[in-house]
């Protein structure tokens, strides 16, 4: 027979072990909760830092993009300014030339400089160059514009009669002959300083019939396609073409 007194004593002896186990469990849960809370706070801090870094990076990119856009606009403004100066310089000229209002490219028909299928410059062509080049150089290489000019290009173009290679050679010879004459002692229209400055930036290219002039029906206009063009390139101008896609501006030229 179990004595009631013994039962009470047994229950009293087991009680501290039960409460001790429960207390240990609660302490463990509390530690887990504190650890979880600490990890959560750390995670939030990391996310905030990442978000802040992302925002700073985005701001830096926007600032850089704005700077590039400003530079593009500056270069476009310089080209427009030079084009207007060229148009003003030759508006009252009797020279048979066309000025592209966007690029400033100046075009002479083939007949001005060369006979058909020839590359020797005619007497009339030499007279044209003596009238044209000093004014052209004065605009491009004056004190205001010289720092922006990286290249002056003479391009020869042909029609599509004959093979591509034959016309490539012909167009290259024509462009070269124009450049050679301008820089020769025979030309005599440039100062020594202008001559040396021009040598550092002048190139002559033949384009064969790769860039023909089309008539209103989309057919090649052989007579207009046979031509010589004078072009200029600005420093850092390649950036315009790279920024064109980035900015999505079809008006950047």
- Provide the angle, in degrees to the nearest 10, between the axes of the packed helices 4-90 and 238-247: 130
The DSSP bridge pattern shows strands 202-206 and 149-157 to be parallel
26-35, 122-131, 196-205, 227-236: segment of lowest average pLDDT: 26-35
Q: Is the pLDDT of residue 251 over 50?
A: no
For the sheet with 227-234, list strands across it: 97-99, 106-109, 227-234, 149-157, 202-206
Estimate the share of the chain in helix, then strand, then coil, as percent rounded to the nearest 5.
60, 10, 25
User: Token digits for 230?
Assistant: 């004078």
Which residues, 6+ apart, have CB-to-CB distance to 172 below 8 Å? 156, 204, 205, 206
pTM above 0.75, yes or no: no
Mean pLDDT confidence for 32-42: 79
Of the two residues 160 and 50, the one the predictor is more confident about is: 160
What is the pLDDT, as a whole number, of residue 214? Answer: 93
Q: What is the mean pLDDT of the chain?
A: 83
- Provide the angle, in degrees to the nearest 10, between the axes of the packed helices 164-182 and 123-140: 70
Answer yes or no: are the C-beta atoms of 172 and 206 closer than 8 Å.
yes
What is the pLDDT, as a whole number, of residue 170? Answer: 97
Q: Which residue in this structure is represented by tokens 């001559």?
A: 195
pLDDT digits 0-9 by tens, 117-147: 999 999 999 999 999 999 999 999 999 999 8
- Domains delineated in the chain: 70-247 (3.30.1330.60)
């Amino acid at each position: 027979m179990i004595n009631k007194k013994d039962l009470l004593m047994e229950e009293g002896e087991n009680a501290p072990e039960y409460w001790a186990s429960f207390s240990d469990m609660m302490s463990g849960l509390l530690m887990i909760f504190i650890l979880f809370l600490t990890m959560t706070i750390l995670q939030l801090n990391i996310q905030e830092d990442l978000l802040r870094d992302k925002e700073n990076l985005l701001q830096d990119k926007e600032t850089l993009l704005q700077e590039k856009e400003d530079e593009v606009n500056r270069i476009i403004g310089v080209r427009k300014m030079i084009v207007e100066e060229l148009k003003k310089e030759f508006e009252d000229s009797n020279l048979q030339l066309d000025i592209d209002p966007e690029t400033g490219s100046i075009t002479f028909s083939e007949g001005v400089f060369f006979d058909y299928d020839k590359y020797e410059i005619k007497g009339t062509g030499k007279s044209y160059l003596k009238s044209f080049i000093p004014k052209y150089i004065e605009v491009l290489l004056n004190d205001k514009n010289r720092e922006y000019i990286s290249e002056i290009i003479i391009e020869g173009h042909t029609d599509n009669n004959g093979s591509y290679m034959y016309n490539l050679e012909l167009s290259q010879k024509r462009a070269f002959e124009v450049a050679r004459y301008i820089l020769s002692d025979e030309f005599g229209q440039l100062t020594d300083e202008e001559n040396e400055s021009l040598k550092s930036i002048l190139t002559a290219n033949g384009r064969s019939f790769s860039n023909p002039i089309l008539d209103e029906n989309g057919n090649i206009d052989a007579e207009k396609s046979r031509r010589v063009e004078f072009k200029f390139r600005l420093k850092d101008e390649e950036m315009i073409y790279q920024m064109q896609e980035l900015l999505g501006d079809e008006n950047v030229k």
